[in-house]
C-alpha cells in the first residue's frame, strides 16, 4: 500500500480515534499532506511518525515553578512529525508554515547564545539532555505539522520539545524512556538552551497524557497521578478561546511571577513557596510586604490558595461532584485575575482575556466555569461548557474575537507516542 494512503486504513482510523477523538475525521488528510511533504524534501519511505499533544491547565496557575501542584490534561490538538534517521549527526527539520529548514549539528551539544529563543535551541537542548542521560542520539530528517498554534496557551513549545524527545528515543533508543524523565529533559532544554524559565507542568502533561495531577514538591521526582474522569459523561466540554496576542514578547512578564514568588520565599530562608509555612507567612505578612513588594505578596497569596485548590479539584472529580469542581475552577480564575495579576499587561489597552472572561461569565454563570489559561497576559482562556450551550458559546466567542477563536477539545488519554499506520 502507498504510504500516504495508510492514513486511510482501518488501523489508522483506530489510532486517530485514540489520539483525536471527535476530530479524528480530519486526521487522514492532515497525515497524507505531512507524509507527502516529508517525501518531497527528504525522499520516500521508510519513515516513522510521532505525535505529542498540547495541554490544558485546569488548576494550579503558576504553581509548578514553586514546587506546587497542578491539574492538567493532554488534549486532542498535537504536534506530529514524519521522520527517519539519516545516518549522520545532523538534524534537518522542516515545519509547516516556515520557509526555512532548521539544521542542528549534534556534535556540539552546548547551549549557543545565538540560538536563544529559537527552534534550533530546543532541538539541541533536548538532544543534549538525552545524551547526558547516557542514551544514544543521532541525526534525523523530519517534517513537522502542528494544530497546537504558537502562542495559543496550549503549550506548543512543550509539545515540540516532547516530540523531539520521543523521536530521538524512538529512533535511537528503545522507545521506553520514562515520560516524566522525558518531560524533565524537555524542560531543561527550554530553560537552559531556549532561555525561558518555565516550570515542568507543560512538558509533563504532554509527555504523560490523560488527566493528571502533578505534585512538584520534589521537582526531581515529580509525583504524577492520573485522575479518572470523563467530562463527556457529565455533559460538559472543555473549550479554549484564543483572545489574540502573542506570548513571544512576554517572557519578562512570566519570569516576574516566578522571581517575585521566590523573593517572598527567600524571606523565610526557602527557595520556593512550597517550603514556606503558610501560617508563618501570614504572621509576617506586613514585614514581607515591606521587604519585597505588594504584588509579590499578592502572588504568594495566590500560590497558597491555588495550590490547595488542586487537591480539592482532584477530590471533587474523583467523587463525581462536577458542581464542586466547576466552582473551584471559577475560584482559581478569580485568584489569577486579582492576586496573580496575569490576565493582562498593565498599561495596554488590548485586554482580550478579561473581555473573554466577562462574556463567559455572562453566558455560563450557574452552568459552567471559566478561567485564564496557562501563562496568561495574552492568549487563551479555558471554559467548561454544557453541551446544550456549546453552539451558543462558540458562536459568541468567534463573533467577539475571530472565526475559529473558540475550540472545543477532548482529553487525550496518551502522551507522546509513535503513531503506527
**pLDDT for 1:** 41
Distance CA 98, CA 112 (A): 22
Of 403, 365, 400, which Cα lies nearest the Cα of 383?
365
Helix (H) or strand (E) holding 204: helix 201-208
**Mean pLDDT for the stretch of residues 331-336:** 97
CA distances from 55 to 223, 304, 387 (A): 18, 23, 21
**pLDDT for 328:** 98
Please give the residue that has the higher pLDDT: either 5 or 418. Answer: 418
97's grid cell: 508554515
**pLDDT for 165:** 98
**Could you name the CATH architecture of 231-408?**
2-Layer Sandwich (3.30)
Q: What is the pLDDT of residues 239-286, one digit of tens each?
A: 999 998 766 677 788 889 999 999 999 999 999 999 999 999 999 999
Helix (H) or strand (E) holding 114: none
Where exactly does CATH 3.30.70.890 map onto the chain? 231-408
Contact, 141 vs 83, CB < 8 A?
Answer: yes
Instruction: Please provide the average confidence, as pLDDT, over all residues in the chain.
Output: 92
**Mean pLDDT for the stretch of residues 72-98:** 96
The confidence band for 296, taking pLDDT boundaries of 50, 70 and 90, is very high
Q: What is the pLDDT of residues 107-121, one digit of tens each?
A: 999 999 999 999 999
**Mean pLDDT for the stretch of residues 97-101:** 93
Longest dimension (CA), the chain: 72
The 8 Å CB, 24+ separation contacts for 358-365 are 359/396, 359/397, 359/400, 360/241, 360/393, 360/397, 363/389, 363/392, 363/393, 363/396, 364/389, 364/393
- With cell 507522546, the residue in question is 416
**pLDDT for 86:** 97
Where exactly does CATH 3.30.230.10 map onto the chain? 3-228+412-419
- What percent of the chain is predicted at pLDDT more than 70? 96
Those residues with Cβ within 8 angstroms of residue 256's Cβ, 6 or more apart along the chain or in another chain: none
pTM: 0.86
Phi, psi dihedrals of residue 75, rounded to the nearest 5°: -125, 175
**pLDDT for 8:** 65
143, pLDDT greater than 90: yes
Worst-scoring range by mean pLDDT, 1-5, 161-165, 230-234? 1-5
Is the preceding peptide bond at 155 cis, omega within 30 degrees of 0?
Answer: no
**pLDDT for 246:** 63
61's grid cell: 496557575
The confidence band for 226, taking pLDDT boundaries of 50, 70 and 90, is confident
Half-sphere exposure of 169 (CA within 13 A, CB side): 26
**pLDDT for 269:** 98
**pLDDT for 134:** 95
Of 151, 89, 86, 195, which Cα lies nearest the Cα of 376?
151
Contact, 163 vs 128, CB < 8 A?
Answer: no
2, pLDDT greater than 70: no
107's grid cell: 556534535
Q: Identify the three-state secondary structure at position 105.
A: strand
Those residues with Cβ within 8 angstroms of residue 417's Cβ, 6 or more apart along the chain or in another chain: 19, 50, 51, 52, 166, 209
Domain boundaries 3-228+412-419, corresponding CATH code: 3.30.230.10
Q: What is the pLDDT of residues 24-65, one digit of tens each?
A: 888 999 999 999 999 999 998 799 999 999 999 999 999 988
| Separation of first and last alpha carbons in the chain | 11
Amino acid at each position: 500500500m502507498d504510504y500516504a494512503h495508510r492514513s486511510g486504513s482501518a488501523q489508522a482510523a483506530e489510532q486517530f480515534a485514540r489520539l483525536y477523538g471527535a476530530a479524528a475525521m480530519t486526521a487522514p488528510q492532515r497525515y497524507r499532506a505531512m507524509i507527502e511533504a516529508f517525501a518531497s524534501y527528504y525522499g520516500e519511505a521508510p519513515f516513522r511518525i510521532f505525535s505529542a499533544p498540547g495541554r490544558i491547565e485546569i488548576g494550579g496557575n503558576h504553581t509548578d515553578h514553586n514546587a506546587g501542584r497542578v491539574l492538567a490534561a493532554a488534549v486532542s490538538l498535537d504536534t506530529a512529525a514524519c521522520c527517519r534517521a539519516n545516518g549522520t549527526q545532523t538534524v534537518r527539520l522542516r515545519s509547516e508554515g516556515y520557509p526555512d529548514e532548521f539544521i542542528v549539528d549534534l556534535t556540539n551539544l552546548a547551549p549557543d547564545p545565538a540560538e536563544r529563543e529559537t527552534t534550533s535551541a530546543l532541538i539541541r537542548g533536548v538532544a543534549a539532555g538525552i545524551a547526558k542521560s547516557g542514551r544514544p542520539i543521532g541525526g534525523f530528517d523530519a517534517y513537522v505539522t502542528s494544530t497546537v498554534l504558537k502562542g495559543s496557551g496550549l503549550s506548543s513549545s512543550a509539545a515540540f520539545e516532547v516530540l523531539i524527545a520521543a523521536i530521538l528515543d524512538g529512533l535511537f533508543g528503545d522507545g521506553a524512556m520514562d515520560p516524566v524523565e522525558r518531560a524533565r529533559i524537555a524542560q531543561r532544554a527550554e530553560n537552559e538552551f531556549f532561555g525561558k524559565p518555565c516550570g515542568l507542568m507543560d512538558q509533563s502533561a504532554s509527555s504523560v497524557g490523560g488527566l493528571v495531577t502533578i505534585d512538584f514538591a520534589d521537582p526531581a521526582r515529580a509525583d504524577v497521578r492520573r485522575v479518572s474522569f470523563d467530562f463527556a459523561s457529565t455533559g460538559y466540554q472543555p473549550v479554549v478561546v484564543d483572545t489574540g496576542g502573542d506570548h513571544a514578547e512576554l517572557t519578562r512578564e512570566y519570569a516576574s511571577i516566578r522571581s517575585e514568588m521566590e523573593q517572598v520565599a527567600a524571606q523565610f530562608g526557602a527557595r520556593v513557596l512550597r517550603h514556606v509555612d503558610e501560617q508563618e507567612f501570614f504572621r509576617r505578612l506586613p514585614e514581607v510586604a515591606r521587604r519585597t513588594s505588594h504584588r509579590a505578596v499578592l502572588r504568594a497569596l495566590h500560590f497558597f490558595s491555588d495550590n490547595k485548590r488542586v487537591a480539592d479539584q482532584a477530590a471533587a472529580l474523583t467523587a463525581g461532584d462536577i458542581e464542586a469542581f466547576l466552582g473551584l475552577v471559577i475560584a482559581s480564575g478569580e485568584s489569577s485575575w486579582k492576586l496573580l495579576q496575569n490576565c493582562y499587561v498593565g498599561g495596554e489597552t488590548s485586554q482580550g482575556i478579561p473581555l473573554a472572561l466577562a462574556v463567559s461569565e455572562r453566558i455560563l454563570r450557574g452552568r459552567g466555569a471559566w478561567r485564564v489559561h496557562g501563562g496568561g497576559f495574552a492568549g487563551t482562556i479555558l471554559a467548561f461548557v454544557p453541551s446544550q450551550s456549546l453552539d451558543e458559546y462558540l458562536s459568541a466567542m468567534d463573533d467577539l474575537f475571530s472565526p475559529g477563536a473558540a475550540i472545543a477539545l477532548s482529553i487525550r488519554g496518551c502522551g507522546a507516542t509513535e503513531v503506527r499506520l
